[in-house]
Amino acid sequence: MAARAYWTGNIRLSLVSIPVQVIPATKDSTKISFHQVHKPSGSRIRYQKVVPGIGPIDTDEIVKGYEIDKDKYVLLDDKEIDDLKLEAKKTIDLVQFVGQHEIDPIYFERPFFVIPDDEEDNEAFIVLRDALKNTKTIGLGQIVIRGKGSIVALKPCGKGLLLETLRYADEIKKAGSAFSGIKETKPEADKVELAEELIGRKTKRFHPEDFKDSYNDALRELIEAKAEHRKVPQIEAPRGGAQIIDLMQALRKSVGKDGNDAKKGRRAKRSHGSRKKAA
């Protein structure tokens, strides 16, 4: 069964308008979610919408409110919000193009697949996809989905397009304030070289299927064990949790070298480099 469209509208490139469907590229069905349950009765806890001093209320009595002062709100109903004539609610206007690696990853938020909405006439869609692929660029625009405005980045993805929502600049915290407490020191060159060697040994192409959600798997096993009234599996505490006192020794052990071997290897590396320069 085809995935339900999250948003339907048009991508506009100058005078060219391309009808598309935007479909979520991620799924949450593999994650375990919990309900709150009343333990003595085993019944699920339900929540009522209640106004202090009035009690439970009907859903049709609820509107959105923006707090401008303590307990003082500007009230807006859904029609007032829907009546805002924002072009971005139905059209993604590609206003700028950037190189594929120009956007800092911290801005990327959520991915979506984009497919043509007209199966009979998708030439314009393919032209845009191939042009982005050939120029190695990303198209930028804006969109409004479910009451939230976002910048979007559009790039080629297989036979279709990938749209990723981006955070606005004022949503990102400044890294400087987060890192201000880090005391800068000059590490020993030998330690950095050993760390580089360890990184080199573990460097390979990224295959997402190599990574499993071990916590989710263990949680599912725990639930199944309790549902079947069998012994709950025991989880072993991770080993090696003690603080590493000697960083150099730990790095040498990690790369499988003793001190002499490590020094010989680095001397040989430097000697080889010197011979190459002399040549």
Q: What is the pLDDT of residues 46-102, one digit of tens each?
A: 888 999 889 989 988 888 998 989 889 898 887 887 777 666 678 899 999 999 999
- Whether residues 125 and 19 share a domain: the answer is yes
Domains of the chain: total: 2
- Whether residues 147 and 266 share a domain: the answer is no
Helix (H) or strand (E) holding 154: strand 148-157
- Whether residues 88 and 13 share a domain: the answer is yes
Q: Is the pLDDT of residue 269 over 60?
A: no
- Whether residues 122 and 257 share a domain: the answer is no
Spatial contact of 138 and 115, defined as CB atoms under 8 Å apart: no
As a whole number, the mean pLDDT across the chain is: 83
79 vs 259, residue with greater confidence: 79
- Whether residues 195 and 124 share a domain: the answer is no
- Token pair 């190599």 is found at 210
- Whether residues 262 and 135 share a domain: the answer is no
Lowest mean pLDDT among 42-51, 164-173, 185-194, 233-242: 233-242
Structure tokens at 208: 């997402």
- Whether residues 124 and 194 share a domain: the answer is no
pLDDT at 28: 76
Query: Does the residue 260 lie in any domain?
Result: yes
Exposure class string for 72-106: b at 16+ Cβ within 10 A, else e: eeeeeeeeeeeeeeeebeebbbbeeeeeeeebeee
pLDDT at 1: 45
Query: Does the residue 258 lie in any domain?
Result: yes
User: Residue 257 sits in which domain range?
Assistant: 189-199+246-271
pTM given for the model? 0.70
Burial class (CB in 10 A: 0-12, 13-18, 19+), 210: exposed
pLDDT at 101: 93
- Whether residues 19 and 139 share a domain: the answer is yes
Q: Tell me the DSSP string of 23-41.
A: EES---TTS-----EETTT
275 vs 141, residue with greater confidence: 141
The rounded distance, in Å, linking the Cα atoms of 258 and 236 is 30
- Whether residues 22 and 94 share a domain: the answer is yes
Confidence of residue 104 (pLDDT cuts 50, 70, 90): very high
pLDDT at 158: 93
pLDDT at 270: 55
- Whether residues 111 and 193 share a domain: the answer is no
Taking only the tens place, the pLDDT of each residue in 114-149 is 999 977 779 999 999 999 999 999 999 998 877 788
Lowest mean pLDDT among 2-6, 30-34, 95-99, 156-160: 2-6
Mean per-residue pLDDT, 155-180: 92
Query: Does the residue 152 lie in any domain?
Result: yes
- Whether residues 17 and 110 share a domain: the answer is yes
Taking only the tens place, the pLDDT of each residue in 12-37 is 998 899 999 999 998 877 788 889 99
